[in-house]
Amino acid sequence: MTRIAYCLLVHKNPKQVGRLIRNIYCSSDFFYVNVFGNNFTKEAWKKEFREFEGDNFFVSFEYGPSWAMFSVVDGTLSSMRRFACFGYDYFINLSGQCYPLKSINSIKGLLQDKDFAYMENFKLPAPAYWANNGGLDRFEYSYYKNPFFILGDILLNKKTARTLGSLGHGPKMFIKLPKLHRQLPYKLEPYGGSAYFCLSKKHVDYVLEYLKNKPNLIAFFKHAFAPDEIFFQTVILNSVLKETVINDNLRYIDWSKKGVTPAILTIDDADNLLNSPKLFARKFDIESDKAILDLIDRSKG
């Protein structure tokens, strides 16, 4: 049976994260939970994770805020390194607001004996997907966290502050400066896509080995915008493994509302979710709608 190494990148609602883990947990799999930010105490998180304690379950509180920052890539790489010597078949990264649409046996069955990377990808520039020079702005400028953006967190809720900032109103989250050397190092071609993927172990091993001898790559991406949506695509799609990448991340995500984040999925999305062939979906919020998760669980039989 397929063994999975899960990297969970979470920042809110420990109870929802606990429910997610219970729905994917298998004692033969591996779990690394990266908790970002300070929205809850460590005790609240540890209480929710207590039932999973074991040699296959790790928790890190190493990172602070994460939205559009390199810390998400850093947390993912930490998970990959932690699992490097473990005998798993697939590496799957999830946010705390993801949820499985299929049973764990169905997920393992679909990945059984596969050797692909399931990763959304597109070559940049890609104006059909991203604005700002088709996404090349993410590479061509250096982005630094605005030290005054905390004002937005105080005066507005974070989502509103972030949205206003992206529109040029109110405090902007990042200070954007032109790069002196705009080219990607190592003659890489830029690629982008969703931050969520399913990678076979050979793809993860390739990433880790590649980075051992390419120190300038991480330095370059540390000040890119939303590097979690460009870093792994750029490394893997420039490699000899390119032909083993399937352009599908196996996630149902609704971007129809054209916001800076995907739509929150509710009971109104039930038909689409229950009929989807995808393995996972996001984003859910049990404070907005818990009933949709209950319905998904019942559909798994």
Q: Burial, 82: exposed, middle or buried (Cβ in 10 Å; 0-12, 13-18, 19+)?
A: middle
Give the pLDDT score at 148. 66
For tokens 């019942």, what's the residue? 298
- Cα–Cα distances (Å) from 71 to 34, 36, 271, in that order, read 10, 9, 35
Do 37 and 151 lie in a common domain? Answer: no
Do 97 and 170 lie in a common domain? Answer: no
Do 149 and 284 lie in a common domain? Answer: no
Q: Contact at 8 Å (CB) between 71 and 63?
A: yes
Do 110 and 216 lie in a common domain? Answer: yes
Q: Contact at 8 Å (CB) between 75 and 36?
A: yes
Dist. CA 102–CA 40, nearest whole Å: 29
Last residue of a domain, one of 113, 145, 178: 178
Do 114 and 57 lie in a common domain? Answer: yes
Do 210 and 92 lie in a common domain? Answer: yes
Give the pLDDT score at 155. 40
Count Cα neighbours of 75 within 13 Å in the Cβ-side half-sphere.
34
The DSSP call for residue 22 is: H
Q: Look up the CATH number of the domain holding residue 247.
A: 3.90.550
Q: Burial, 125: exposed, middle or buried (Cβ in 10 Å; 0-12, 13-18, 19+)?
A: middle
Dist. CA 256–CA 253, nearest whole Å: 9
Q: What is the dihedral of CA 144, 147, 151, 156, to 10 degrees?
A: 30
What is the number of domains present in the chain? 2
Do 289 and 203 lie in a common domain? Answer: yes
Give the pLDDT score at 183. 81
Last residue of a domain, one of 150, 178, 206: 178
- pLDDT one-digit tens code per residue, 195-242: 999 999 999 999 999 999 898 999 999 999 999 999 999 999 999 999
Do 137 and 213 lie in a common domain? Answer: no
Give the pLDDT score at 187. 93
Give the pLDDT score at 180. 66
As averages over each run of 10 residues, the pLDDT of the chain (301 residues) reads 96 95 97 86 90 94 79 96 96 98 97 97 95 91 75 44 40 75 87 97 98 91 93 98 98 87 94 97 95 96 68
Do 65 and 208 lie in a common domain? Answer: yes
Last residue of a domain, one of 111, 145, 178: 178
- Cα–Cα distances (Å) from 233 to 88, 156, 282, in that order, read 21, 34, 20
Do 196 and 260 lie in a common domain? Answer: yes
Do 257 and 207 lie in a common domain? Answer: yes
Q: Contact at 8 Å (CB) between 222 and 256?
A: no
Give the range of the structural domain holding residue 281, as residue numbers without chain letter: 4-124+187-299
Do 194 and 271 lie in a common domain? Answer: yes
Identify any residues that bridge with 141 across adjacent strands, giving them in sequence order. 178
The DSSP call for residue 86 is: S
Report the Cα–Cα distance between both ends of the chain, in Å, rounded.
20
